[in-house]
A and B are shown apart, each in its own frame.
Chain A
Amino acid sequence: MSTPEAYTPPESHAAIVALAKSVAGCDSLIVSGFRDNVRLEVPPAASLEALRKLRSHAGLDLLVDLSAADYLNYPNAVHRYGIWYVLESVETGIRLVVKTWADDPDPRVDSVFDVWRGADWMEREVFDLFGIVFEGHPDLRRILMPDEFSSHPLRKDYPLRGDGERHNFHALSREES
């Protein structure tokens, strides 16, 4: 990560950053940037409030992307999971990445289902693949893996080739069919 002190957000984002800082619990949020991305790191306790305010007051009305990464053994990582929200304003085209985090053993963040309906499936996907629970999501169930599946495959401690689930089926012979 680039050092937060050295980074000042571009002119276009100054008002948005100021707005985000005005949310309770966000006064010390970290602003960073890389290439054309401007990132705000918001503590999970305040993430819902901050995102709600960014939508209603800063006009960031489009939730472009919502996903997560597992930072297990990542260089200098403090938290295990990072969750990002890529927001954009349809009107002005300003784009902002909001990041928050969660930790083992019970990774949880607040759901933004009420703010953007588009978050519905994206949050379910993160729940399915990482096991992060989105509190307040009305229909949080697995979406890509079978309901009975027991692991979260995109976690770093899950092997690429799986734990043998893919071979756990009955083989049909010609006579049986």
Chain B
Amino acid sequence: MGLTLADAIAPPDGSGHECQWTLNFGPQHPATHTTLRLVLNLDGEVILKATPDIGFLHSGFEKLGEHLDFNQYVTIVDRMNYVSPVANEIAWHHSVETLLDIKLTPRCQMIRVIFAELMRIHDHLLACGAAALDLGAFTAFLYAFNQRELINDINEWATGQRFHPSYTRVGGLQRDVDDDWIGRVRSFLKGFPAAHADICRLLNRNRIFIDRCKGIGVLTREEAINRSATGPVARASGVVRDLRKNRPYLAYEAIDFDVVCSQDGDCLARYLVRMEEMLESHKIIAWAIENLPSGPVNSNVDDRMVLPNQLSVYRSIEGLIHHFELNMTNRKWQPPVDEVYASTESPNGELGFYIVSNGAPEAWRARTRPPSFIHFSLFPHLAEGHTVSDVAAILGSLNIIAAELDR
């Protein structure tokens, strides 16, 4: 057997600190939200070394991805970053559609954009609310959750599930949205800026919150790139990189929005970047909902890649056969024998899937590039030299989602 955790948590050599002690933090701890474990080597209250121990939620997602077909696996990726489930679905099917070379219809692209941005708000609300909660500000969390409930209702209206809707399909969507849904999104958009302003008023000038965040866990631009940080965490450190702009997918090329960045790289910057990004997402949704193209949501049904709609399955023999072929174990899709990496800008950072295909309708290897996993590896670097109470601030600002971390 090679190295074990016991080797890793041994106190640093020759540090000369007399009153060193080791603190076990988690895996069941309120500030870790879910199942993370940290072993902290402390000198008094100062962290000398932090050793994360993860895997407490490792459930074999990627192994399952090798056994479920492209449409079935969407239910599993849903549960990956469960704070913004539809964003995962979009990322997964973006990779699958790149592999199968499917072009989406304009309407489908726009609906996916709206969902992706709703999920960004959904995710950032939890990230900011929970970050505040960990620092003792309970009210902001409740305000955030009220808005999240509205987004859950929007999800439910379109898909039938509050979250984990499994909404996307290869080349399309489970079903089209209706006018009531559009109305719901509009009324959400109307109320959101006020709620956002409420949270800002509670936190942005809150002395305690700022004192506990400012200058804590600073990540420089060089380190952010060196350590593969992406998304809001990297942008808070001055890395101007947003896949929606850099490698536009869906309909993002046509939409006008700004990439939010900061230079400070501390916990406060990460919080502020997230708060601002919500307003940008709001802007995107507001534009997209008014410019929602009409037409079908499923692209070119005739090439036997996309599930036909329910009516044609029930009322025509062609539709029935088509549906049957896409569900029979020995038919389904015939992707090229090749491999592809494609990624999207999920709320947490770059969420990519590297799919190796052997020509079967299941992936040979469905590798996830999980932003939480990479961001948590930053933690020892960020926490060093800070005090125990800063652990909660740093963890909250990184927004680690355990299911995505461990998969």
Contact = CB atoms under 8 A, between A and B. Distances in A.
The answer to whether A and B come from one shared complex is: yes
Interface of A: 1-2, 34-37, 61-65, 67, 69-70, 74-76, 82, 84, 86, 90, 93, 95, 97, 116-122, 125, 129, 139-148, 153-154, 160
A118 B228 contact: yes
Majority DSSP secondary structure for residues of A touching B: loop
Interface stretch (B12-20, B112-120, B182-190, B352-360): B352-360
B97 to A, nearest CB: 10
Contact of A69 (B1, B239, B367): B367
Contacts of A160: 60, 63-64, 66-67
26 contacts: A1-B337, A2-B336, A34-B336, A34-B340, A35-B340, A36-B98, A37-B341, A64-B343, A64-B369, A67-B354, A69-B339, A84-B354, A86-B341, A90-B241, A97-B341, A116-B226, A118-B226, A118-B377, A122-B228, A139-B3, A141-B3, A141-B4, A147-B4, A154-B62, A160-B64, A160-B66
B364 interface: yes
Interface in B49-64: 54-55, 58, 60, 62-64
**Central interface residue in A69, A86, A139, A140, by most chain B CB within 10 Å:** A69
A140 B340 CA distance: 28
A1 B337 CA distance: 6
Nearest to A97: B341
Interface in B340-373: 340-343, 350, 352, 354, 356, 358-359, 364-365, 367, 369, 373
A106 B99 CA distance: 32
Contacts, number: 128
**Central interface residue in A2, A36, A64, A148, by most chain B CB within 10 Å:** A64
A61 B341 CA distance: 18
B60 A64 contact: no
A147 B1 contact: yes
Nearest to B222: A61
Interface string B368-407: 0100011011000100000000000000000000000011
A131 B253 CA distance: 42
A61 B358 CA distance: 31
